[in-house]
A and B are shown apart, each in its own frame.
Chain A
Amino acid sequence: MTTTKPTARKLTDLLDPQFMARLDALDVLSRKILLGKMQGERRSKRRGQSVEFADHRAYVAGDDLRFVDWNIYGRLDQLFLKLFLEEQDLTVHVLADMSASMGIGQPSKDLFVKRLTAALGYISLVNNNRLTVTLFADGVRTRLANVRGRSYLPQMAEMLLTTECDGLSDFEKTCQDVTAARIGSGVTIVISDFLFKQGYESALRRLLGGRYDLYVIQVLSPQEIAPELAGDLKLLDTEDADMAEITVSTALLKYYQRNLAAYCNELSEFCTQRGAVYVRANSADSIESLVLNYLRRVQLLR
């Protein structure tokens, strides 16, 4: 509870303090839990108590001292926390795409993704939700798994700030790994441009299973939404170095827009049909309005 200051200092590289102050008022909302479990139990989590013991884990600075297992401390002279399995306990799982394609765009998509991840992580950690942040490219690149509490904010910021966009994207493999390690119930938020050549359907299907709400946030750069190209060009795919020779014409641009719209619509429909929520974002938009307005409207946050 006393470690807010160092956290804010690191995290300010991604989020500015006023925005963080406003985020303090938000919490992650799980429709699955609200619908499936008792409302009262969700509230009971707020009091920080539970009855069903689940596990122990090593104490880290900033953990609530009330959950330290003093018996074990007496026996082993080491601080361990008692972890309780709570139905109300919400797991927030953020999957952020850090493949090379995210580095393209002006403003770049990766910064947008990092800031959005940071905002969502901040909300989760502040509200004591269990947070797992997975940065992926052609598999899981880094992961901050099952952390809870403000004390992990610097760690999360560190991880986000040190990871660069690189490599191919293999969404399928990532999802395989993620679902294997996923426990509990809660919210899975996938942030990516979803421009996967091998498709996103089977991967998203994996994430849909279990007791998790799925939020799909597609981030596109303004250049992808409305390309400003002209002339005879050779387009180079930043990930697999694939080439496409085009002669930009009004007709081609029209077809591109149509394809983009169709692609996004497919993704959106795919999500809606399976109870997932699809959100499309422009990397030029402000994080603040997305988080404070749009994500609240789709009831990811409250």
Chain B
Amino acid sequence: MEWLTPLMGLYAAAVALPLLLLLYFLKLKRQEVVVSSTLLWKRAVQDLQVNAPFQRLRRNLLLLLQLLALAAVLIALAGPVLAWKGGPGQRYVVLIDRSASMNATDIAPSRLGAAKEQAKAFVASLRSGSALSLREGSDLAMVIAFDEHAKVMCSFTSDRRQLLAALDAIEPGDDQSRLAEAVTVARAFAQSPGVEGNIRSAEEPARLVLFSDGRIQDPETVVVAADEIVFHRIGAAQDNVAITAMNARRSYEQPEQVEIFAALANYGAEPVTRDVHLAVDSNVCAVRSVTVPACTPDANNVSFKPGQTAVSFSLTHGRAGVLEVRQLGSDPLPGDDAAWSILAPPKRLSVLLVTKGNPVLESALAACPLARLDPCSPAGFEALDPAVFAVQQRYDVVVLDNHVPARLPPCRYLVFGAPPNGIDVNSPRELENQVIVDWRAQHPVLQYVNLTNLFAAKSRRLELPRDAEVLAEFNESPALALLRRQGNTYLLAGFDVLQSNWPFEPGFILFCYNALSFLGAQVGTGGRHDLAVGEPITLENVPAETVLTLVRPDASREELSPGPGGSVRFPGTQRVGVYAVQMPQQPQRWYAVNLLDADESRIEPRDEIQFSSVTVAAEDRVLQRANVPLWPVLVLAALVLVCLEWLAYNLRVRI
């Protein structure tokens, strides 16, 4: 037996017991009545006492019953619990899966809710140590919530209230579930001395108690012993229809024409027919009825394939907008029923060419579909006020031809020749007769560009920082590199075009086109707008002391302010939906966060998890409370005793 609040019981006993005895010694305040003679009354009382058997005993019986009733209440106050488990105290790590699939509502209120309830029952069953405990040890536990990343909600403690609060604080997410990080964190905590500085901390491994549906992406990377982890399976259903892919793009020839593509997956054993709608800025434009075939079942979790089908929409939309594709049927997991995409407005680029005169480059750029191409002398460029340049945003891309500017206004740069200063790139010397040895043909900048024949008579040697992306290499130096610094993007070519044979190659035109498209794709956006869950929203070149307001899909708001360098980073995209960023005096920016994960959409709970070394089966039995609180029984006993006392008192009076 354990005591939850032994001191409280002791204090109450110290007050109540002497009080009861004192009350018993106090005489009853009797009302005085004058009678002619007490003769007969005394005889009657005498008779009553003589004739009532066990008179003295009965009086004591009353006291005894009162004492017993009081004792029962006092013991109840001390909060005894009956702990069925024996042995010394153990340490547990409660791992709660809060990935997207745990939001399935096949069990009320949701899988995560059920997991939290089961975890709470588990926490309640932990043994707590106390001064009056019969054993010296109490159980310690910590709580880790994990999806893609692990989050420690509460480190090792025996304080149940703290543990329960930590469990309550777990919020659902829409990310994938990866266990490896959580296990690593748990072991790290288990090996360091805990909050309670217990000697046991490092002695024995903590036991992992996993509450999950078993849909974990990386079980094979987790190494656990068979008796180290207990898996409590949460979830029942497998039927789910999800949107697993979505893409929207404007037609090249007709920028107002938008093609939208989406893929639907069915994880149920029966084919389903669902209506899929397309909405632009929350206005439904089109509805398609789609039949998704049944999944291909498997026996050993190897060849499972959901039934898949694709749906495409075509739309004429000349403005920016938020596209939503949603399947209208109901299923347990609402997070994957919709996908969003942010449609940028059709735009042609404005380019500033800073050159002393380069007809080759000029004509190559002029061949690209640009809104504007403004040539400018180096002196003219230096005369521009960088602040005004940043605010006006007249140019999307600046092409620097053999010019090293003193200042770099925020923009995207295509640099030929010597690299600008202040971007961590050194060019100590010139090289001669460089030929291309390798290039990244898959990169968008080099798409369809053949560099095999490129030869540079003179080139700068580029010494790049580690985060620079090398796109092409000469035999002695990088030839093309991509670099991001302070919100600016630089595409560096370390040679003068006129010092190479590139203008005679068809690839040069393609390169210019690709480079401008690539750099122009980042115009005004400060980054990508279609994000996966957990990917941060980043904005660049935000003026200092601007306060941004981020509106989450659930309409809650958060204020953001830019860090040094003018970049804003919001990592909290844990839920799917459309996030909006509002900036003063600028149009609202939209970000779509999508699940689009075929593995997370598969919600069928696993009966066993195959870790790298062992296979852990789900616990069959429902978690039971091992601690039985005794206070209700004691209070009931006190009630019965009081009733008995009343009965005894009345019997005494009646006889």
A residues 215-274 in Cβ contact with B at 8 Å: 221, 223-224, 229, 231-239, 242-247, 249-252, 255-256, 258-260, 263
The 8 closest A-B pairs by CB, nearest first: A249-B653, A195-B37, A104-B36, A101-B36, A255-B44, A234-B30, A256-B44, A244-B38
Known interface pairs A251-B52, A255-B48; 15 further A-B residue pairs with C-beta atoms within 8 A, sorted by A's residue number: A101-B37, A105-B36, A197-B39, A221-B36, A232-B30, A233-B33, A236-B33, A236-B35, A236-B38, A239-B37, A244-B41, A244-B42, A246-B45, A251-B48, A252-B48
Instruction: Give the CA-CA distance A297 to B16 in the complex, in Å.
Output: 68
Q: Report Cα–Cα, A158/B187, bound state, in Å.
A: 114
Residues of chain B within 8 A (CB-CB) of A187 are: none
> Residues of A with Cβ closer than 8 Å to B?
101-102, 104-105, 109, 193, 195, 197, 221, 223-224, 229, 231-239, 242-247, 249-252, 255-256, 258-260, 263
| Residue in A224, A244, A251 whose beta carbon sits within 8 Å of that of B653 in the complex | A251
Give the distance to chain B from A257, nearest Cβ to Cβ, in Å: 8
Give the size category of B's interface with A: 20 to 34
- Asked whether A197 lies within 8 Å of B31 as measured between CB atoms, the reply is no
Residues on B facing A (Cβ under 8 Å): 28-45, 47-48, 51-52, 653-655
**Complex Cα spacing A193 to B30, Å:** 27
Contacts of A242 in B (CB 8 A): 38
* Cβ-neighbour of A260 out of B34, B35, B40 (below 8 A): B40
Nearest A residue (CB) for B651? A251
Residue contact A104 to B35, C-beta cutoff 8 Å:
yes
Interchain CB contact (< 8 A) of B31 among A232, A251, A259, A260: A232
Nearest CB of A to B575, in Å: 72
Across the interface, which residues of A come within 8 angstroms of B29, CB to CB? Answer: 232
Please measure, in the bound complex, the distance between the C-alpha atom of A244 and the C-alpha atom of B48, giving whole angstroms. Answer: 13
Q: Which residues of A contact B45 (CB under 8 A)?
A: 244, 246, 252, 255
**Residue on A with the closest CB to B45?**
A246
11 contacts between A and B (CB under 8 A): A104-B35, A193-B36, A233-B33, A235-B41, A237-B36, A238-B36, A246-B41, A255-B44, A255-B51, A258-B47, A259-B44
B39 CB contacts on chain A under 8 angstroms: 195, 197, 263
Interface of A is mostly: mixed
A100 to chain B, nearest CB (A): 8
Check if A256 sits within 8 Å of B40, measured CB to CB.
Answer: yes
A251 to chain B: which residues have CB within 8 Å?
A: 48, 52, 653-655
User: A195 is contacted by which of B40, B47, B48, B655 (Cβ under 8 Å)?
Assistant: B40
The interface residues of chain A lying within 8 Å CB-to-CB of B48 are 251-252, 255
Q: In the complex, A160→B43 CA distance in Å?
A: 33
Pick from B32, B40, B653, B655: contact of A233, CB below 8 A: B32
Separation in Å of the B399 CB from the closest CB of chain A?
110
Q: A251-B655, A258-B47, A259-B47 are in contact. Are A104 and B34 (CB under 8 A)?
A: yes
Contacts of B31 on A, CB cut-off 8 Å? 231-234
Considering the chains assembled together, what is the distance between the CA atoms of A259 and B41 in angstroms?
Answer: 8
**In the assembled complex, how far is the CB of residue B39 from the closest CB belonging to chain A, in whole angstroms?**
5
- Determine how close the nearest CB of chain B comes to the CB of A29; give it in whole angstroms: 31
Report A-chain residues with C-beta under 8 Å of the C-beta of B33. Answer: 229, 233-236
| Least Cβ–Cβ distance between A241 and chain B, in angstroms | 10
Chain B residues lying within 8 Å of A105, measured Cβ to Cβ, are 36
A258: chain B residues at CB < 8 Å are 44, 47
| Residue pair A245, B40 in contact (C-beta under 8 Å) | no
Q: Which of A232, A250, A259 has the most CB of B within 10 A?
A: A259
Q: Which residues of B contact A101 (CB under 8 A)?
A: 36-37
B28: which A residues are within 8 A, CB to CB? 232
- Distance in Å from the Cβ of B651 to the closest Cβ of chain A? 10
Within 8 Å by CB of B654, from A249, A260, A263, lies A249
Q: Within the assembled complex, what's the spacing in Å between the Cα atoms of A233 and B31?
A: 5
Q: Which residue of B lies closest to A248 (CB)?
A: B653
B38 touches A243 (CB 8 A): yes
B40 and A263 within 8 A (CB) = yes
State A101–B653 Cα separation when bound (angstroms). Answer: 29
State how many angstroms separate the Cβ of B655 from the closest Cβ of chain A.
5
Which residues does chain B contribute within 8 Å of A193, judged by CB atoms? 36-37
Q: Which residue of A lies closest to B30 (CB)?
A: A234
A255 contacts across to B, CB distance below 8 A: 43-45, 47-48, 51
Neighbouring B residues of A235 by C-beta, 8 Å? 33-35, 38, 41
How far, in whole Å, are A251 and B32 apart by their CA atoms in the complex?
20
CA–CA, A197 to B654, complex, Å? 28
Q: Which chain B residues lie closer than 8 Å to A102 at the CB level?
A: 36
Q: Which of B37, B39, B47 has the most CB of A within 10 A?
A: B37
A238 contacts B34, C-beta separation under 8 Å: yes
CA distance A38 to B503 in the complex (A): 181
B654 touches A234 (CB 8 A): no
Q: How far is the CB of B181 from chain A (nearest CB, A)?
A: 76
Beta-carbon contact of B44 and A252 below 8 Å: yes
Residues of chain B within 8 A of A221, CB atoms compared:
36
What is the chain B residue whose CB lies nearest that of A99?
B36
How far, in whole Å, are A205 and B317 apart by their CA atoms in the complex?
A: 135
A contact residues around B44 at 8 Å (CB): 246, 252, 255-256, 258-259
Closest beta carbon of chain A to B529's beta carbon, Å = 87
Which residues in B have their C-beta under 8 angstroms from that of A224? 35-36, 40
The residue in B33, B35, B655 that gathers the most chain A C-beta atoms within 10 A of its C-beta is: B35
Q: How far is the CB of A63 from chain B (nearest CB, A)?
A: 41
Q: Are A197 and B37 in contact (CB under 8 A)?
A: yes
